[in-house]
Structure 1
Amino acid sequence: MSELLSNSDIDDALSGLPEWSLTGTSITRTVELPTFPVAISFVARIAEAAESADHHPDIDIRWRKLTFTLTTHSDGGITKKDVALAHEIDGLLPDD
């Protein structure tokens, strides 16, 4: 089990993740990519990263708009795993 982050820790983490926001016991980000195939390809890249980290996001796919929701379900909130995966998602985004 991972340790839940405090509210202060979450605020600090989000200051380094400006496109992410706190939603209940999760952090979320929505991205819009140029085409549906590009969006699906991006989801596949995130799937590989998530599988490697053994930490899997909830992903809502709406045509070329993707919403990522991160929480550590087994711990009931936000942990360092979520912050690390959010940074990885940001780093894997294709350049505009």
Structure 2
Amino acid sequence: MTDKLNDADRDMMIAPLIENGWRMSSDRDAIEKTFTFDNFVEAFGFMSKAAIWAEKMGHHPEWSNVYKTVEVTLTTHDVDGLSELDAKLAAKMDDLA
């Protein structure tokens, strides 16, 4: 089990993600990002690669895909907010994109 991020951890782990295009959700303790690719195949390929990492981590995103756009929301339901898992998966998604 993971813990909800405290203020110090949030500053250290989430702030760099915000600088890289992630944003805080307006209605809950979560981060969101829109990934845009050249076409559907690239968007779906990104989702496939991210799904493998999410499964390895045991932490799954809320996401949707329309053509070349993938909308991602990360939060840890077990702690009702952001955890280290969200920060790690967000960073991995940035690497994969």
State the TM-score, normalized to the length of structure 1: 0.88
Unaligned runs of 5+ in 1: none
Q: CA RMSD in A?
A: 1.3
Tell me, yes or no, if the aligned pair for 1:14 and 1:21 is still in contact at 8 Å: no
Runs of 4+ in 1 over 4 A off after TM superposition: none
Unaligned runs of 5+ in 2: none
- Residue of structure 2 aligned with 1:41, choices 32, 45, 63: 45
Paired residue for 2:9? 9
| Stretch of structure 1 that moved more, 5-14 or 57-66 | 5-14
C-alpha distance in 2 between matches for 1:81 and 1:13: 10
Paired residue for 2:80? 76
State the TM-score, normalized to the length of structure 2: 0.87
1:56 is matched by which residue type in structure 2? H
Paired residue for 2:58? 54
Q: Secondary structure at the match of 1:55?
A: coil
Percent of aligned pairs with the same amino acid? 30
